[in-house]
Amino acid sequence: MPTSRRDFLKGSVLASSLLFVPKFLHAVDAQGVQRLGNSNGRRLVVIQLGGGNDGLNTVIPYENDLYFNARPTLAIRPQSRILTLDKGLGFNPAMTGLKNLYD
């Protein structure tokens, strides 16, 4: 079991090389060093597990009426519960820890 993010990425690269290499791993070299250009050092790593995450209820386009119209029973309501980010997007109310890291 990986003990750090670096170990996880190394293991992912090794396991992926047996079948295919996802495009996002092309930004990581053999030592796990990211080559993504200039940044402030902050990274958000999202691991998508099939069937376990509803992306539109993770990062919510709360200013877009299409979201609420298309999801009458799934949309997060009321909107005041959504943890606002910027540009009309917000985190699910259950993601306070990630919101604190984001801030």
Statement to judge: residues 41 and 57 lie in one domain: no
Domain enclosing residue 84, as ranges? 53-103
* Residue-level pLDDT at 92: 94
Mean pLDDT of the chain: 76
Statement to judge: residues 80 and 101 lie in one domain: yes
Place of tokens 């996002």: 24
CA distance 12 to 14: 5
pLDDT category of residue 78 using cuts at 50, 70 and 90? very high
CA distance 26 to 33: 11
Statement to judge: residues 39 and 77 lie in one domain: no
* Residue-level pLDDT at 53: 73
Total domain count for the chain? Answer: 2
Tens of pLDDT, residue by residue over 39-57, are 566 666 777 666 667 788 8
Average pLDDT over residues 18-23: 53
Strand partners, 90: 60, 84
Helix ranges, the chain (H): 5-19, 65-70, 96-102
Average pLDDT over residues 85-98: 91
Q: Are 67 and 76 in contact (CB under 8 A)?
A: no
